[in-house]
Amino acid sequence: MEDTSADQGRGLDYLHTVTRKANHSMSKKSDHKKLDTDCTFPPDHPLPPDQLGRYSPDRDYYAEKDIADYVMMELHDETVQNVERVKAEYVMGTPYEIWDVTTDKDRWWVITNSTNLYSQRHFPSLDTHFHFTSG
């Protein structure tokens, strides 16, 4: 049976060195985002709404277009920038799709099955609003 204590000791020394390097790099104000590791940090600002769709794993182009067209029809002075299906709910066997729509001026909930548009400013909680409107 091999003695691995020397290997374990070297591993801990290596880990301590890497940690020290990372802490040293982080302590410099000008280099606070430049670490000696392969870590990736999210940006300091949110992604622009028109870029969010690139990161949605499950998309239905035609359904998104239908929702965007509906919002554009209802809101003549706003431009749709992002449409995202948040979830689908079934109430007594009836399907409802809930969409989060971002325009150039505001954010909106669109709830289907008798499609309606609701301002997220007036209804910030999706669950509360959905249960209120669906009965």
Listed in sequence order, the residues at least 6 apart from 73 whose beta carbon sits closer than 8 Å to its beta carbon are none
Phi/psi for 21 (5° steps) reads: -60, -45
- Residues of the chain short of pLDDT 70, as ranges, are 1-47, 52-57, 129, 131-135
Which pTM value belongs to this model? 0.58
The reported pLDDT for the residue numbered 105 is 95
The reported pLDDT for the residue numbered 73 is 96
If DSSP states are collapsed to H, E and C, what string results for 13-67? Answer: HHHHHHHHHHHHHHHCCCCCCCCCCCCCCCCCCCCCHHHHHHHCCCCCHHHHHHH
The reported pLDDT for the residue numbered 107 is 94
The reported pLDDT for the residue numbered 124 is 81
For the segment 51-85, what is each residue's pLDDT rounded down to a tens digit? Answer: 766 666 677 889 999 999 999 999 999 999 999 99
